[in-house]
Amino acid sequence: MKLKDGHTEVKAPSLTRRYWPVFGWPFTLTVVLVALEAACDVLQPTILARLLDEGVRQGRLDLVLTDAAWMLLVAGIGALFALSRNYFASHISLSCAARIRSDLFRKIVSRPVDKAALDDPDSLLTRLTNDITQVQNFLNGAMRIFFKAPLLAVGAILMASLLDPGLAALLLVIVPLVLGILAFTIGRGFGLFRHVQEQMDRLNTVFREFLTGVRVIKALERGSDEEQRFAKAAGNLAEVNTRALWFMTRVGPMVALLVNLGIVAVLWLGLQSAEAGDFRPGHLIAFVNYMTQILFALMMATNIINSLVRARASASRISEVLNAPGQENPDTEREETDLPHQAAGLEFHRVSFRWPGGTGDVIRDVSFRIEAGEFIGIVGSTGSGKSSLVQLACGFQHPHGGSISRPARSHIAVVPQRVNLFSGTIRSNLLWGHPNADQAQLEQAAEAAGAKEFIDGFPDGWETRVGRGGVTLSGGQKQRLSLARALLRQPGLLILDDSTSAVDSLTEAAIRTALRALPGKPTIVLVAQRIASVAQADRVLVLDEGRLIDLGTHRELSVRCEIYRDIIRSQTGWEADHV
Ligand code: CTP
Ligand code: MG
């Protein structure tokens, strides 16, 4: 996904900077617990060395017993620390993920409409689910073992140096080598895993397109093409994932080889000093123990680096969304009082507009003024810019030239060209328009929108389920529900974008009559294909290729406007002097 609004210009806060103030403290506490646990681990070999070299070798049972008791005690305390950090690790990583998820969702909701239209929904979905899970896994792992690994390594090196500074010099060679390998891995792996997440987006896109277009795909018998597309996307994901994981898996054996070579060297050096007459088996065993602890720590680190690298790639994708521009409080304009809203006018002054990424202006230097309470029709051939004009009038898009004066968004209701119902009941869908509406208001709106009859016809009436798992409504029924939902808001300005195209002419005429009789007499802008739909309007606005050609009554236009007359002629049964 590209969040195309240049947010990268400012240095945006990373996920860590954003959430550290909230989760920093418990996180630090957990890391302290891990440190204490690591301290317990590194004490063990030293106690063991004493037990062997002083207790066993000198045959002193009392020393053996006390050292054994010490070892038991240290192990017990270590286990307690381990238990509590596990609890905190799960708790913190889960609540942090939940927090990020809800912040991310809030940000997506708050995206301004014109910007949000450019966001890739599939990519947002991956970010909201998979990417956050990666971060959560990393956090959990980090608090369990990621910090333990370096602590254990440092502790073991320290204790080993105290035990035998000569042998510890070996570590000065091995440890930097291993650290170099790890640093290189983190750098390279980041790019690889970012690629993996992008392929995941792609797979989601293909799958969702299949789901939403399944009828068309079946109708056009393109099922096998879709299968191929899916197989290709899945194959790509597998390929980049394999490449990334293959890169990561080479690290483990390399580290193991280095450390094991070190152990061989220690044993060899130990043997040399034994031949020189200074043989301390406990000492040697403890040192080898430290080496294995270091090996173990570094191996753990390589494992979790895998998850760190993935999480870093995911975190940057999450940050991109969190740092994208949004409106702090998209709903502040909203108020439910004073219904119906007062009728409001609309004025365009030399407005020009082009779609982001579009090739040319789709609205060109358009000026007009609609008075409060007017009923305005808009006609024009397909692609002439009617819907674009509606988007501008609602404030969903912004002109690059000229100015628009319109009422606040909460006073406008728009019935978009493409109906969008939510899964739920008919009632719940209508309540989106006005959450506090009572049954009488619902019935009134449904009546005016010509929806009451078919709603009452359903066995479940208002509780009929629509959308997923519910009844399948006809195109015209959906349009009428969408209109009823808009009417419930009792707007001051009602905009209908081709909202009765799937309704028969008789029903449509009844709806138009009802619209004119609405309480509060709102300003109505009605975009239509059929001249019949706008013939009764106070004035009609004719658009062609983004230009306002004429604005007048049906009668005036059918005399003076050539384009208007062309439209009339093209619609059989209608003549210029009809009506
Ligand atoms: N357009 C675009 N990007 C969009 C929507 C529209 O580039 N997101 C372009 C279309 O390609 C078209 C022009 O804007 O050339 C006008 O489109 P629109 O306003 O939707 O035309 P309408 O008059 O509404 O067409 P229709 O009657 O088919 O709804
Ligand atoms: Mg349109």
pLDDT in tens, the chain (579 residues): 444 443 333 455 788 888 888 888 888 888 889 989 999 998 988 898 888 888 888 888 888 999 999 999 999 999 999 999 999 999 999 999 999 999 999 988 888 877 776 777 878 888 888 889 989 988 888 888 777 888 888 888 888 888 888 878 888 888 888 888 878 877 787 788 888 888 888 888 888 788 877 777 777 777 788 888 889 989 999 999 999 888 878 877 888 888 888 888 888 888 887 787 777 788 888 888 888 888 778 777 767 777 787 788 889 889 988 888 876 554 444 555 566 788 899 999 999 999 988 888 999 999 999 999 999 999 999 999 999 999 999 988 899 999 999 998 889 999 998 888 888 899 999 998 888 889 999 999 999 999 999 999 999 899 998 876 667 788 899 999 999 999 998 999 999 999 988 888 889 999 999 999 888 899 999 999 889 899 999 999 999 999 999 999 999 999 999 999 998 988 865 454 554
Query: CB-based contacts of 505: which residues, under 8 Å, 6+ apart?
Result: 530, 532
Match 């406990």 to its residue by tokens: 282
The answer, yes or no, to whether any atom of ligand 1 lies below 6 A from the CB of 499, is no
Q: Considering 307, 322, 337, which residue would you say is the last residue of a domain?
A: 322
| Of 554, 452, 466, 456, the residue nearest 511 (C-alpha) | 452
What CATH number is attached to the domain comprising 397? Answer: 3.40.50.300
Q: Considering 322, 355, 385, which residue would you say is the last residue of a domain?
A: 322
Q: Phi/psi of residue 464, each to 5°?
A: -60, 130
The answer, yes or no, to whether any atom of ligand 1 lies below 6 A from the CB of 387, is yes
Residue 455 domain-assigned?
yes
Buried/exposed 204-236: b ≥16 CB within 10 Å, e otherwise: bbbbeebeeeeeebeeeeeeeebeebeeebeee
Peptide bond between residue 121 and the one before it cis (omega within 30 degrees of 0): no
Residue 27 domain-assigned?
yes
User: How far is residue 496's CA from residue 499's CA, in Å, rounded to a whole number?
Assistant: 5
Q: Tell me, what's the pLDDT at 432?
A: 87
* Host H or E run for residue 547: strand 547-552
Q: What radius of gyration do the chain's Cα atoms show?
A: 36
Do 471 and 537 reside in the same domain of the chain? Answer: yes
Note whether 547 and 364 are within 8 A (CB): yes
| Of 353, 378, 400, 314, the residue nearest 123 (C-alpha) | 314
Do 205 and 350 reside in the same domain of the chain? Answer: no
Note whether 156 and 297 are within 8 A (CB): yes
Dist. CA 387 → ligand 1 center (Å) = 6
Residue 483 domain-assigned?
yes
Angle between helices 61-110 and 132-141 (to 10 degrees): 160
Q: Specify the ligand 1 atom closest to the Cα of 358.
A: 7
Amino acid in the structure at residue 219: A
Task: Tell me which ligand sits closest to the C-alpha of residue 382.
Answer: 1
As beta bridge partners, residue 352 has 401
Amino acid in the structure at residue 346: L
What CATH number is attached to the domain comprising 277? Answer: 1.20.1560.10
Residue 328 domain-assigned?
no
Do 285 and 420 reside in the same domain of the chain? Answer: no
Q: Tell me, what's the pLDDT at 7?
A: 38
Q: Phi/psi of residue 76, each to 5°?
A: -65, -45
Q: Specify the ligand 1 atom closest to the Cα of 380.
A: 23
| Of 225, 200, 202, 201, the residue nearest 213 (C-alpha) | 225
Helix, strand, coil shares of the chain, percent, nearest 5, are 65, 10, 25
Do 377 and 317 reside in the same domain of the chain? Answer: no
Do 279 and 370 reside in the same domain of the chain? Answer: no
Q: Tell me, what's the pLDDT at 8?
A: 39
Residue 192 domain-assigned?
yes
The answer, yes or no, to whether any atom of ligand 1 lies below 6 A from the CB of 501, is no
Do 222 and 306 reside in the same domain of the chain? Answer: yes
Amino acid in the structure at residue 489: R
What pTM value is reported for the model?
A: 0.67
The answer, yes or no, to whether any atom of ligand 1 lies below 6 A from the CB of 396, is no
The answer, yes or no, to whether any atom of ligand 1 lies below 6 A from the CB of 380, is yes
* Host H or E run for residue 424: strand 424-425
CA atoms in the 13 A half-sphere facing the CB of 467:
13
Do 304 and 361 reside in the same domain of the chain? Answer: no
User: How far is residue 235's CA from residue 231's CA, in Å, rounded to a whole number?
Assistant: 6
Do 476 and 530 reside in the same domain of the chain? Answer: yes
What are the Cα distances from residue 443, in Å, to 90, 151, 435, 460?
A: 51, 69, 14, 15
Q: Tell me, what's the pLDDT at 442?
A: 93
Q: Tell me, what's the pLDDT at 469?
A: 65
Residue 247 domain-assigned?
yes
Do 306 and 356 reside in the same domain of the chain? Answer: no
Do 190 and 274 reside in the same domain of the chain? Answer: yes
Amino acid in the structure at residue 436: N
Note whether 346 and 525 are within 8 A (CB): yes
Residue 561 domain-assigned?
yes
The answer, yes or no, to whether any atom of ligand 1 lies below 6 A from the CB of 383, is yes
User: How far is residue 181's CA from residue 85's CA, in Å, rounded to a whole number?
Assistant: 29
Token pair of 294, please? 């270091």
Q: Whose CA is nearest to atom 19 of ligand 1?
A: 385
Q: How many CB atoms lie within 10 A of CB 574?
A: 17
Q: Whose CA is nearest to atom 3 of ligand 1?
A: 355
Match 């609602």 to its residue by tokens: 394
Number of domains in the chain: 2
Q: What is the DSSP letter of 55?
A: I
Q: Checking phi first, is residue 434 left (phi over 0); if not, alpha (psi -120 to 50) or beta?
A: beta
Query: CB-based contacts of 39: which residues, under 8 Å, 6+ apart?
Result: 151, 155
The answer, yes or no, to whether any atom of ligand 1 lies below 6 A from the CB of 519, is no
Do 315 and 386 reside in the same domain of the chain? Answer: no
Dist. CA 546 → ligand 2 center (Å) = 12
Q: Phi/psi of residue 14, each to 5°?
A: -80, 170
Residue 292 domain-assigned?
yes
Residue 361 lies in domain:
346-578
3-state secondary structure of 577: coil
Pocket test for ligand 1, best of 361, 384, 388 (most atoms within 8 A of CB): 388
Dist. CA 546 → ligand 1 center (Å) = 10
Query: CB-based contacts of 417: which residues, under 8 Å, 6+ apart?
Result: 387, 497, 498, 499, 527
Note whether 128 and 97 are within 8 A (CB): no
Do 313 and 359 reside in the same domain of the chain? Answer: no
Dist. CA 390 → ligand 2 center (Å) = 9
CA 256 distance to own-chain centroid: 39
* Host H or E run for residue 156: helix 148-163
Rounded (5°) CA angle 356-357-358 = 90
Q: Phi/psi of residue 447, each to 5°?
A: -60, -50
Amino acid in the structure at residue 255: V
User: How far is residue 190's CA from residue 200's CA, in Å, rounded to a whole number?
Assistant: 16
